[in-house]
Amino acid sequence: MSSEAEELIAFLKKVNNLQESHIKEQAITIDNLRITITELQVTVANLNETIDEFRRKFFGISSEKASDSVAKEMPDTNEAIEEPKITTVTEHTRTKKPKSTRQDLYASLPIRYVKCDVPEDQRICPDCDIPMGHLGYKFVREELNIIPAKVERIHYLAETVVCPACREEGDTTIIAAKTPTPLMVHSPVSPSMAAYVMYQKSGNHIPFYRQQADWKLKGVPLPRETAANWYNYCALEYLLPIYDYLHQELLKRDIIHVDEVPCQVIHEEGREATAKSYMWIYLSGTDGKPAVVLYDYQPGRGGNYPIEFLSGYTGMIHCDGYSAYGMIQEVILVCCLAHCRRKFYEAIPKERRKKVKLLDISSEQEIAEPKGQTALDSTLLPAEKGVAFCNRLFFLERRYKQLSAEDRKIMRQEQETPVWDEFWSWLDTLNPTGGSKLEKAVDYACNHHETLMNYMLDGRCEISNNAAERRAKTYVMGRNYVLDIVMCCSDLYLVALS
């Protein structure tokens, strides 16, 4: 073979090798691009989830109640308006409460009888002109009367007595009567007035500047600074011992609910007005004893705050999945299933979220498990199945609500244990996309595997921590009127609770 042929063959082999190398590089590049595209798609999906969540928080509602309570979206004016669709509403059983009578509604109010007598000139019989005698009174109607607040000045006058015999002998013996101890020294405030100011502030949530205007209409010039001073002094002097006693009483209970809610304090020494503080809520469980609800203000959310407040406590604590509660020693944590369900609910796409029904054992109407939303339904997305599993447990808890603690524990072991086993087995089959809301929901459930099921250890425990969340909501929204004692910024305040 000539040298030219050999050179041509060598050149062709070199070209072939270069082509193969180029093809391999192209294949590697294509694979890398596919991986990049997949990662970008995941990132876009996660970002869309985040954007939807921000939109829901800023412009939507914060309640978990979907279906009927979800606000309707505004139609796009650039798009054609679609015809309304007909949907079938899921059937449910509603227990109708008996209608309250007026006698029941006003049973606690005192009654003042107003007797309407026949005038003297009409008490003569028109037939025989003889004076008519009293026969009786007949009920005609009732009305509600209110006596507005009335302010009066009370002058205490102490009587002094003198001995006449001593006076005749040139000596004087005088004894003065004792007067009631004032609520505050060198202050005109009475117990009733201080209680009224505190109730208006904490019970009716009327700020001091509005109270100042209202007192002015009553003829009392009461500066807001004076009212605030009365409030703080009485809280520290008279209510702080009660708070301390209730604190010790709470630590003796077997079950405690704990939650925390952010708040801001204006003009707090050493901190900016925009600094985030926290109000910690502690309340007793459903143990059949008088309820105890305490609030503890703290400048942060660290685990040292509940550790210090619950020092010496060795019972069960209802809480969410916040890691600070895991730092408390010698207690049994009972994690809230409602928080776990919320993670799965937030992972449901926005367009499908409206169709999801969330069950609550405390709802006034009895809701059966929705058709088509069982965990075994193959038409559901993984996040919807997670919600369905939680709904099944809530539905069972609704049935056991009226049982005793012992019977409730037995029924939980028999009926709910298989549901939990099925739930954990189903979680093991999932492979959610990294960084997605579904992954966060799955990780949340797996990280709290034991604590989510600890409510089954005691029939007095609840499946959720909604009791503490309701107390937090009343503190934030200020809508109810029963007073509970709260420690706040080294001052004792009253906060409205249901």
Q: Are residues 288 and 428 in the same domain?
A: no
Q: How far from the centroid of its chain's Cα atoms is residue 218's Cα?
A: 37
Please state whether 113 falls in left (phi above 0), alpha (psi between -120 and 50) or beta: beta
Q: Are residues 258 and 407 in the same domain?
A: no
- H-run or E-run covering 495: strand 491-497
Mean pLDDT of the chain: 82
The b/e string for 152-183 (b: 16+ C-beta within 10 A; e otherwise) is eeeeeeeeeeeeeeeeeeeeeeeeeeeeeeeb
The CA–CA distances, whole Å, from 488 to 151, 295, 370 equal 31, 8, 44
Query: Is 356 within 8 Å of 373 (Cβ atoms)?
Result: yes
Q: Are residues 416 and 348 in the same domain?
A: yes
Q: Say if residue 491's pLDDT is above 60.
A: no
Joined tokens for residue 389? 């599993």
Q: Any idea what DSSP says for residue 191?
A: H
- Report the alpha-carbon angle 236-242-247, nearest 5: 110
Task: Determine the pLDDT at residue 380.
Answer: 83
Within a domain: 368: yes
Total domains in the chain come to 2
Within a domain: 384: yes
Q: Are residues 398 and 364 in the same domain?
A: yes
Q: Are residues 280 and 341 in the same domain?
A: no
Domain with 253, as residue range(s), is 236-336+465-498
Question: Which span out of 36-45, 92-101, 372-381 was modeled with the highest average pLDDT?
Answer: 36-45
Q: Are residues 309 and 375 in the same domain?
A: no
Q: Are residues 394 and 483 in the same domain?
A: no
More confident position, 328 or 478:
328
Q: Say if residue 349's pLDDT is above 90.
A: no
Within a domain: 313: yes
More confident position, 266 or 216:
216
Least confident interval from 7-11, 206-210, 338-342: 7-11
Task: Determine the pLDDT at residue 73.
Answer: 38
Least confident interval from 30-34, 226-230, 356-360, 386-390: 356-360
The mean per-residue pLDDT over the stretch 8-26 comes to 79
The CA–CA distances, whole Å, from 29 to 32, 73, 96, 108 equal 5, 44, 68, 82
Task: Determine the pLDDT at residue 240.
Answer: 94
Q: Are residues 455 and 341 in the same domain?
A: yes
Identity at 261, one-letter amino acid code: V
Within a domain: 414: yes
Q: Are residues 368 and 314 in the same domain?
A: no
Instruction: List pLDDT tens digits, range 49-97.
Output: 777 767 766 666 555 554 443 333 333 433 343 454 554 444 545 566 6
Within a domain: 295: yes
Instruction: List pLDDT tens digits, range 301-348.
Output: 999 999 999 999 999 999 999 999 999 999 999 999 999 999 999 998
Task: Report d(CA 72, CA 88) in Å as an integer.
Answer: 18
Quote the radius of gyration of the chain (alpha carbons, Å): 36
pLDDT band at 38 (very low <50, low <70, confident <90, very high): confident
Q: Are residues 276 and 385 in the same domain?
A: no
Q: Are residues 485 and 401 in the same domain?
A: no
Task: Determine the pLDDT at residue 354.
Answer: 80
Beta-carbon contacts of 341 under 8 Å, excluding residues fewer than 6 positions away, are 64, 358, 386, 387, 390, 391, 394
Query: Is 468 within 8 Å of 276 (Cβ atoms)?
Result: no
Q: Are residues 260 and 320 in the same domain?
A: yes
More confident position, 421 or 171:
421
More confident position, 494 or 65:
65
